[in-house]
Amino acid sequence: MDHAAGKELSVDGLSVVLTSVSSDSHTWNLVVLQLLLEELGHQVRNLGACVPDDLMVSECLRLRPDLIVVSTVNGHGFHDGLRLIGQVRNHPELAGTPMVIGGKLGISGPGSERSRSQLKAAGYGAVFEDGTGLTAFRSYVGRLTTGRAS
């Protein structure tokens, strides 16, 4: 049961692990995303801020989520995200798990198309840059729910 909203989760909902990168101590972004995902009917395990890579990977191995969401606000998402996706994809059990990253990926403002392409080439299913809103994220999650994620 979703205690915050007092309603049952959808049987079609995804199991989602939500985390930040290990260097990011911000939590407001995680709370907003957790609430959004729960409103959409998904079960969320929010690992919180400053999660060490090995802890995030071990939790994903234990939980086997349908989706891993990485949110970052501190501007180190590009570098930390590349390292993290490499560790996740090193585990065959998680190699096919959809994983997305979003937020402030660079310290000097929006990242380049090259950095977004690098993150996708490393294994992220989508990259949601800070300031682009949640519409694209909602759409991506909706496609996963119906089995049509690209």
Is 46 among the domain residues?
yes
Total tally of structural domains belonging to the chain: 1
pLDDT grade for 5, boundaries at 50, 70 and 90:
very low
| Chain centre distance of CA 46 | 10
Span 77-90, pLDDT tens digits: 899 999 999 999 99
Say what the pLDDT of residue 77 is: 87
Is 70 among the domain residues?
yes
Which long-range contacts (C-beta less than 8 Å, at least 24 apart) are formed by 132-141?
A: 134/36, 137/36, 137/100, 137/102, 138/36, 138/40, 140/100, 141/14, 141/37, 141/40, 141/42, 141/67
| Chain centre distance of CA 59 | 14
Is 92 among the domain residues?
yes
Is 20 among the domain residues?
yes
Q: What CATH number does the domain containing 70 carry?
A: 3.40.50.280
pLDDT grade for 145, boundaries at 50, 70 and 90:
confident
Q: pTM higher than 0.85, yes or no?
A: yes
Domain with 80, as residue range(s), is 15-131
Q: What percent of the chain has pLDDT over 90?
A: 70
Is 97 among the domain residues?
yes
